[in-house]
Amino acid sequence: MTSPVTGTVFVATCDLAAQMRGRAVPASREDAVLRSGTGWVPADLALTCFGPIADNVFGSTGDLRLIPDPATRLDVPASGGVPGTRIYLAGQAQPDGTPWECCPRSFLASALDELRTELGLTAVASFEHEFTLAGVPAAPPFSFERFRAAEPFGSELVALLDQAGFAPESWLPEYGDAQHEITLSPAEGMAAADRAVLLREIVRDLARRNGLRACFAPILHPEGSGNGVHVHLSFLDADGNPALYDPSRPGQLSELGTRFAAGILRHAAAVTAVTAASPVSFLRLTPHRWSAGGVFLAERNREALLRICPGSGPDAGHQLNLEFRAADATANPWLALGTLLKAGLEGVRRGYPEPVVWSESVTEAELSAMPSLPKGQAEALDALESDQVVRGFFAPDLLSTYLSVKRAELRSLDGLDETERCERIADVY
């Protein structure tokens, strides 16, 4: 095994505040760490995005191991006088090696296993990230000028992602001020979420090394357009055929697909407590922001919570997917994807009524009658706590810690106006 030039290896998890945290070990111990992991503490799960530990059930007791997954290895090359490093993502396990019930990565693994066991399906996903890049000259949205103004950062980012096997699909100057977007090709569910965790750190690290600052905060100013993370979902059956595609049905979405969508729509308020996970996230999730203006399913309509993304040509069935639009980078990707899968699976299990598939010609009056998302994070957290179905997805200690962390983050912003709240969150993300 080739050691990274820095002489250390960083073993990481992603916590409830969507922060990648972990420990570095000497490169000489890499093989040993791959076998038995490195130490970790249960109370670390209760770290808030601002640093302090929220009230939790763990206290000072207990021990865990961060067990690296060799498939997640990422080598970040040296650049600009900063040494390279090697990163592994890890699951959190008990000292005897059994998975810890509060591990976010294990939470997603359980959702993927349920999908395979009950429906014989493999989840395929992609996380589409928007972020702002401070330190480059102002230029019009979507313009070649803004694309070039971000060089050499942009080309270096695409090359680094390509080299890492992340299969970058597009890199573009987006609509908002200083906003950019990077999309990765779809991958199997765990790989897609792992890439989302690592992508954010790759972008921030590369920006710093170029004298820039990348920010994934959901909204930098109350009147701004905001940064989303659109989660694209599709499924393959045991023979590798697309399970969401049925050209005879509305939106070309199969019955399984519409019942899966029904589960997410039925539990949308509780789901968004996990996918839109900061005190300012819901400022972005309002009508006319092209984010998620209502709880409905639609073709080619970017106000929908769930959008059917169509395919084209002979591969249309494999291209068609469901896009969940009420997520951002304050959410842990493992928890976000796992919650979406579990909610959708409930729609299939319980036979929820199929939702209407609204066309792109839906009127403004019709849109205004759609159910709305929570008005703020506090309302969403209350919905998560009271929704007996969604709360049942989580181990009790994981749920109580999540609620404690998020409510502690809310309290940290007491007394601030919305502009100040946005600034505080932007400082973190």
Residue-level pLDDT, tens digit, the chain, 429 residues: 344 445 899 999 999 999 999 999 999 999 999 999 999 999 999 999 999 999 999 999 999 999 999 999 999 988 878 888 999 999 999 999 999 999 999 999 999 999 999 999 999 999 999 999 999 999 999 999 999 999 999 999 999 999 999 999 999 999 989 999 999 999 999 999 999 999 999 999 999 999 999 999 999 999 888 999 999 999 999 999 999 999 999 999 999 999 999 999 999 999 999 999 999 999 999 877 777 878 999 998 888 999 999 888 888 889 999 999 999 999 999 999 999 999 999 999 999 999 999 887 777 787 778 888 999 999 999 999 999 999 999 999 999 999 999 999 999 999 999 999 999 999 999
The DSSP secondary structure of 357-371, one letter per residue, reads EE-TT--HHHHHTSP
Residue count of the chain, please give it: 429
Residues 6+ apart with CB under 8 A from 173: 139, 141, 142, 143, 146, 147, 150, 179, 180
> What count of Cα atoms within 13 Å lies in the side-chain half-sphere of residue 71?
8
Q: Which helix (H) or strand (E) holds 51?
A: none
202 with 160: CB under 8 angstroms? Answer: yes
For position 294, what pLDDT does the model report?
Answer: 86
Type of residue numbered 88: Y
Q: Which helix (H) or strand (E) holds 11?
A: strand 8-14
124: three-class secondary structure by DSSP: strand
User: Helix 377-386 to helix 396-412 angle, to the nearest 10 degrees?
Assistant: 160
For position 381, what pLDDT does the model report?
Answer: 98
299: three-class secondary structure by DSSP: strand
pTM: 0.95
For position 6, what pLDDT does the model report?
Answer: 55
Instruction: Name the residue among 412, 418, 383 with its Cα closest to residue 274.
Output: 383
Q: Which helix (H) or strand (E) holds 68?
A: strand 64-68
Rama region for 252: left / alpha / beta (φ>0; ψ in -120 to 50; rest): left
- pLDDT tens for 132-180 read 999 999 999 999 999 999 999 999 999 999 999 999 999 999 998 999 9
Phi, psi of 139 (to 5 degrees): -160, 160
**Cis peptide before 152, with omega less than 30 degrees from 0?**
yes
Dihedral of CA 187/190/191/193: which sign?
positive
The DSSP secondary structure of 85-97, one letter per residue, reads EEEEEEEEE-TTS
Q: Residue for token digits 């996970």?
A: 277
Q: Which tokens is 113 given?
A: 């296993």
- pLDDT tens for 372-400 read 899 999 999 999 999 999 999 999 999 99
For position 119, what pLDDT does the model report?
Answer: 96
Dist. CA 125–CA 186, nearest whole Å:
5
For position 102, what pLDDT does the model report?
Answer: 98
Dihedral of CA 234/229/406/102: which sign?
positive
Q: Which helix (H) or strand (E) holds 102?
A: none
> What count of Cα atoms within 13 Å lies in the side-chain half-sphere of residue 241?
6
For position 4, what pLDDT does the model report?
Answer: 46
